[in-house]
Amino acid sequence: MRIGRAGALTDTGRRRTQNEDTFVCEPPLFAVADGVGGAQAGEIASRLAATALEERLPGAYGEDTLAALLREANERIYQHSLDDRTTAGMGTVVTALLVDEAHGALAVGHVGDSRAYRVRDGQLEQLTTDHSLVGELVRTGRLSAEEAEQHPHRSVITRAVGTEATVAVDTFTITTAPGDLYLICSDGLTDVVRDHEIVSLIAAADGDPHAAAESLVDAANRGGGIDNITAVLFEIVEGEPAPAPARVAAVPEEATADPELPEADTEAVTAPAAEVRRHGPGDGNRWLALAAIVLALVAATLLVWWGLTR
């Protein structure tokens, strides 16, 4: 199996003046981050988290990879809030999905109340459980899912990335199947649009992830648009995984073994990824350009020589 089409959309909504949500839609990595904090701090926090995730080393998969990336994000946000006191207390909830196409596995890492769902055989299944006061009550059976949807304190989260020196990341792995559609979204969608509406809007979009993202965001805005709204969707289809991009081949052997590395090595692990991204494809292009120039020069010389000898 492999990742098929993907689509993502974020929208400020109708009540807020800023969008503190950020998404990552870089197959095989997908994530939604919903920032919290005064002024523009929430936006800074969610962007810092997305940046940390995007520095994932090509070839690194699994729960350990996601947990290490989210701990790295936690460190950066927390440090930023210490360095710049105007951002004190900022943080972000993050839900990230990492697909290992070769093994048909999908790792989930999450902190907070952005949710991951799967649509399989027309059924919507919530994969994550919210790290929120209401979520805890539902988990312990003191509140039904229906009561939770209407609860006045449903947006009070119990965990976030970057608000403290350390963070507890929940991770798990599921098996994917062709035909699966995955959705990650911020609470700006799920607080307004009910599960049965989500599944019918996705069905109406005929499984097209981008069209589905648009109609989900539209539905949340029609329902008031009380918060920033973000939806990231992708499908799993039949077939061989796409060949790895050229830069993956340039990664040294020990670096690709990243999932096995202890968390303390996160810094060392993320650095080569940026290196490879900056230099990998560029070098190849330069050699190609040089070869083309040499060939053109040889051809020109031959033409001139041919012209003179006639």
Question: Where does this chain bind Mn ion (CB under 5 A)?
Answer: 34, 186-188, 227
Q: 127 or 160: whose CB is closer to Mn ion?
A: 160
- Chain centre to alpha carbon of residue 268: 21
Q: Which residue has the tokens 């303390």?
A: 264
H/E stretch holding 234 reads strand 229-237
Tokens of 30: 């997908």
Q: 37 or 188: whose CB is closer to Mn ion?
A: 188
Query: Do residues 151 and 143 make contact, with C-beta atoms less than 8 angstroms apart?
Result: yes
Q: 73 or 185: whose CB is closer to Mn ion?
A: 185
Q: 34 or 258: whose CB is closer to Mn ion?
A: 34
Q: 42 or 259: whose CB is closer to Mn ion?
A: 42
From the CB of 80, what's the least distance to Mn ion, in Å? 20
DSSP states of 151-176:
-TTTT-BS--BSSSSS-PPEEEEEE-
From the CB of 269, what's the least distance to Mn ion, in Å? 30
What is the rounded CA–CA span in Å between residue 232 and residue 216? 10
- Chain centre to alpha carbon of residue 101: 16
From the CB of 42, what's the least distance to Mn ion, in Å? 9
From the CB of 59, what's the least distance to Mn ion, in Å? 33
- 101: closest CA among 232, 5, 243? 243
From the CB of 286, what's the least distance to Mn ion, in Å? 45
Q: Which residue has the tokens 């499908």?
A: 235
